[in-house]
Structure 1
Amino acid sequence: MMTTNELRVSVIAAFLAAAACAPRPPTAPPVPAPVPVMLPPAPPPVVERAPIPDVNPALPAVPHVTGPLEIKVVYPPAEHLIQSRDSNFVFGSVGNGDAGLTVNGVLTPVWPNGAFMAWVPNPPADSPRYEIVATTGLDTVRLTRPVRIALPPPAVPLPRDTATPGDTLPPGVPPPTAGAQRPPADTVTRLSPVLYASLIGPAVYPSDTDRVVTGYAITGGLQRWFLMPGTVVKVIETRGTDAHVQLDSSQVIRIAKSDLTMLAPSYKPIRLRAGAFRVQARDEWTDIVIPLSARPAHLVEVRPGELSLILYNTSTTRKRPVTVRGTAAGYLASARSEREGQSVRYTFALRGPAYGYLPLWEEKGLRFRIRRPPAIDSTAPLKGLTIAVDPGHPPIGATGPTGLWEPVPALAVGLRTEALLREKGANVAMTRTTDSAVALNDRPAMARRANSHAFVSIHFNAVPDGINPIRVNGTATYHYHLHSFTLAEEVQRALVRQLSLRDNGVKRDNFAVIRGTWMPSVLAEGAFLIMPDQEAAIRTPEYQERYARGIVEGLESYFRALARARR
């Protein structure tokens, strides 16, 4: 008989055995871990952008900038008076080359470095401002640039000096006071009797031509008279800040009143009489010495192979023309004097192209010095020559869209030009080698005192209001005197080849630094600093080197051709 404990154990064992033999319920499959859903990346925001005009593959690549948006307008400055008729340019930078930009709603190109150049209609006169908006799609910034708009003069006819019954005046125009006169602001005042004045001086050094008084044609244009201080002139009338000066019966010019010292009304003018001239030949120049009792008003004209000197209000002791032959070894072939109305004309035939000249006043005489071109080795045309290099500015100077100031790259190009010229065996007279300002008139004076054989001024261009720089940018070279034209041609040709920009040609203009007469003088505007791609190129040593090489190649070509032209 089983005990109670034995029975309990037996029952448990039987239960366990039955449980082991019973079929097992199916096992539930494991629950898989959630799989993350990979969504496609969000598309970049769509930014409407204006295409960049006229991409020039020959320029260094514009660097790509992706900084924060910040609109900086370089031009026009706030409250600037816009002088254009209907449209104008606006330029600056936005800090990000991927931005889209509008100026007064006009889509505007942005270059990869964030610089922009807009050509837009002028804002209305009753709302004179540019609303500028830049966006990357993720960020948007705005800037308002207030300006002023030059208004055209009202098209209202002026009333007559008196109003009589029956006259009809335009609406809003009050009748004038009877007999009232309304002369223009710059009224011409005739002097009766005429007065005489002395041109202000004296020059810094004896026989120095660097200090001159400039006379201008009454009708405008580029003609200039460069007169010696101490010359006495006849003033026949005044207008505003100018005096009208009569040189002879057929020639009247204008001179600033500030350049004159009026003489006493009792002054009695001296009729100038030129004595027999003589020729003095030297190795580097030939002098024509003309005896005179006082400084004459004069004009020099340059033609191929010829110079003319006109002495106004001057007579000669000879009634017939006089011709003197030059020496066999000299550069002057002949000199001829003849009367021409109330003046005397001297004509100098040369044995080659005109190269340089100086009118020098000495006691009781005028010495007209004609410069002979230097001896040139055609295989090394710059060797032994002295070249004046003038890095343009400061003071003033243009500024590009990202803030590059013209004097900075002009100096960099000038210093590189100096190095290349020295490699060619030339001596170099630099008008500046630092950031310090040099006065305009001091620059050609420095070149003359160094007896330089050529003068080159280095600049970068901009345009005034109303001219579209996107259409007119390029390379140009300027001269003033005719004997500088050939040098300008050669420098222009070489710069266009090196800088790969539009050929804007050789131009004549009255820039102070190229009015010197002792040597051929030119001013180069290599590239447009206000165009974004050209400003970016100008920043690079590579492009500065190309500019310098263009100048040196142009000088080499000019002097090589000059060696062939001498006879």
Structure 2
Amino acid sequence: VHKGGGWLAFVPVDAGEFPFVVRAEKGGLRDTLTVTVSLPNPAGFSFDSLVILPPSLQPSETLSIQAGEVIDLALDGTPGGRAYCIITPGNDTIPMIEDQPRTRPGGRSIFDRTGMDEGEENTSPNERGHYIGSYRVPAGSSGPLGIVYHLGLSPNMPVPSFDRMSSDDSAALSALIKRNPHRAESLLVPVVVVDKRIPSVVELTDSLTTVRTAPGQAYLAIFQPAGVRAEMVGRMGRWLKIKLAETHYGWIPDTAATILPDGTPLGPAAVSSVRTVDGDAYVSILTDISRKVPYRIEERPTENAVAITFYGAVSNTDWIRYDLRDSLVRFMQWSQPQAEVYTLTIHLNESILWGYEARYEAGRFRLDIRKRADGDLTFADLRIVIDPGHAPDPGAIGPTGLAEKDANLAVAMKLKGELEHRGAEVILTRSGAQGLPLSDRPKLAVREKADLFISIHNNALPDGVNPFINNGVSTYFYHPHSEPLARAVQTRLARELGLNDFGLFQANLAVTRPTQYPAILVEGAFMMLPEQEAKLRTDKFQTQLGQAIADGISDFLSGASTSR
């Protein structure tokens, strides 16, 4: 037990009921506390019954797809069986195979600092019973289809053997197989075959739509504005599949778009003239384009360049005009790497990008690239927004009850005082127990024209990762132009606080996603550890943490000043 009263243990547990017995002794006094935790089987099945887990079905919701496309099939269920799908009408039988555990992701977390040992399999004993297959919708198919998943066992089949399979599990599965032949069956999943002779067009209605690589998966293009149109070529549940170009596709939520009437035309947009316009705080790149199309902006720090890719666009760019007052943009060039994909590459004279903002205006696309002050950068040049994370939600809770939101605010106030002492203007997203909604915190920074954004947090780990091995200071960024600031701050934190270096992370977080300024999130200490929670309660450690962040910002400014 730490002298501050905190105590933490990392105990391996299995599925079922697990009693924790805690005994405390001091000065001849004793006390015992028993807490029983009931843990469900992570796989959702046992070996003594035959079951298909409905949440695991892929696809599991109404699917719209074009003839000739492939449907990936998957289910989780009792291991060792024979899985297959029946496609209706026609009753085509599609075999599925049980995937090998070693080929499936899982096991260690990105928060496990030990990584993977050489030759170690990234599996767990609960990864058995995953069945996969595929089905190509025949060319010329029309009308609705249906998928029914089946999983069966036969009395004549041998009892499968799995690594780390207990004798009880083996006996239960053997008894199950010896029963009368039987099978588990899912409900029908409807499939709509889309008639691609009449393109279906959608228009975005949300000004902050994100295009994803697959339903609920990684971000492909962020901040797509209302009015952007694209062809819808499929659907899975509440997700719409859109065609960006001939070999480029993405997914958007159906709440972010409206389906336009059949017959709505959707020809490629024409990109014509491009020009730069110098301003006080930004250099603007104005690109004339005939309609709003999906776009993606890519920072290329090794090339000192920014690239804009327009999907569903063709080049008619015969003119590029440069504003001679502008010293930031060196030159621009366009390319058409494939049909209806247009890329404009903007080469810069500076190696560090400070931020940018993109939007459509009437008849054109506008990219404002932020300029930096001339000469050496100092704190007096900066307006810094500090975000004490959480509130009104408490965030993580330490062993003795310290709420992360309170620790974050205490550190933020120390950092604010340190930055103001060095000459910076500081704005807080909150100064008390009540804070802004998460999505409003970056909006405040944009509205206040922040130069830097620093979000203050303190860490805890999910179950399953050993906090005694995996702990320390960490810093998070998203866009490449925020990486130099994140690296400078993380270096100072690791050097000055006497804690482990938990790592530098590129992370897609709400507060690191905006493009207008360098933005980072700092996890100062692991408050789930008693000794680090105790540190966070002290004025000394709060001050040290604030000073280390400020020192990192100072190092960043020095590097930015010399990189011109």
TM score, norm. by length of structure 1: 0.72
Relative distance call for 1:223 and 1:312 in structure 2 (3 A) is closer
Deviations 1:284-330 (A, max 9, x none): 21111112232220001101211000011011214x7x665563642
Could you tell me how far 1:565 is from its partner in structure 2? Answer: 0.7
3-state SS, counterpart of residue 2 of structure 2: coil
Deviations 1:214-241 (A, max 9, x none): 1222395565433112212222112233
Relative distance call for 1:348 and 1:500 in structure 2 (3 A) is same
Deviations 1:448-467 (A, max 9, x none): 11111111111011111211
Matched, 1:245 2:242: yes
Whether the 8 Å CA contact 2:210–2:219 is kept in 1: the answer is no
Matched, 1:275 2:272: yes
* Residue number in structure 2 paired with 1:106: none
* Residue number in structure 2 paired with 1:215: 211
- The structure 2 residue matched to 1:555, chosen from 542, 553, 556, is 553
Between 1:229-238 and 1:471-480, the stretch displaced more is 229-238
* Residue number in structure 2 paired with 1:540: 538
Which structure has the bigger radius of gyration? 1
Gaps of 5+ in 1: 1-109, 204-211
* Residue number in structure 1 paired with 2:510: 512
Relative distance call for 1:264 and 1:526 in structure 2 (3 A) is same
Whether the 8 Å CA contact 2:15–2:42 is kept in 1: the answer is no
3-state SS, counterpart of residue 532 of structure 2: helix
* Residue number in structure 2 paired with 1:261: 258
User: For residues 30-109 of structure 1, what are the structure 2 equivalents within 5 Å?
Assistant: none
Could you tell me how far 1:558 is from its partner in structure 2? Answer: 0.7
* Residue number in structure 1 paired with 2:194: 191
Letter in 2 for 1:398: A
Whether the 8 Å CA contact 2:272–2:316 is kept in 1: the answer is yes
| Distance (Å, rounded) in 2 between the aligned partners of 1:364 and 1:426 | 39
Whether the 8 Å CA contact 1:479–1:488 is kept in 2: the answer is yes
Deviations 1:388-410 (A, max 9, x none): 11111124311111111111111
Whether the 8 Å CA contact 1:190–1:238 is kept in 2: the answer is no
User: For residues 362-377 of structure 1, what are the structure 2 equivalents within 5 Å?
Assistant: 362-375=361-374, 377=376
* Residue number in structure 1 paired with 2:391: 394
3-state SS, counterpart of residue 490 of structure 1: helix
Letter in 2 for 1:359: A
Letter in 1 for 2:357: L
Whether the 8 Å CA contact 1:298–1:312 is kept in 2: the answer is yes
Identity %: 27
Whether the 8 Å CA contact 1:123–1:130 is kept in 2: the answer is no
Gaps of 5+ in 2: 45-77, 87-92, 94-149, 158-176
* Residue number in structure 1 paired with 2:5: 114
| Distance (Å, rounded) in 2 between the aligned partners of 1:477 and 1:495 | 9
3-state SS, counterpart of residue 118 of structure 1: coil
* Residue number in structure 2 paired with 1:416: 414
Could you tell me how far 1:268 is from its partner in structure 2? Answer: 2.2
Letter in 2 for 1:428: V
| Distance (Å, rounded) in 2 between the aligned partners of 1:173 and 1:191 | 42
User: For residues 349-368 of structure 1, what are the structure 2 equivalents within 5 Å?
Assistant: 349-352=347-350, 353-368=352-367
* Residue number in structure 1 paired with 2:60: none
Letter in 2 for 1:216: R
Whether the 8 Å CA contact 2:392–2:433 is kept in 1: the answer is no
| Distance (Å, rounded) in 2 between the aligned partners of 1:192 and 1:546 | 64
* Residue number in structure 2 paired with 1:336: 333
| Distance (Å, rounded) in 2 between the aligned partners of 1:222 and 1:129 | 42
* Residue number in structure 2 paired with 1:135: 25
Relative distance call for 1:506 and 1:323 in structure 2 (3 A) is farther
Letter in 2 for 1:197: V
Relative distance call for 1:446 and 1:158 in structure 2 (3 A) is farther
Letter in 2 for 1:278: R
Could you tell me how far 1:192 is from its partner in structure 2? Answer: 2.9
TM score, norm. by length of structure 2: 0.72
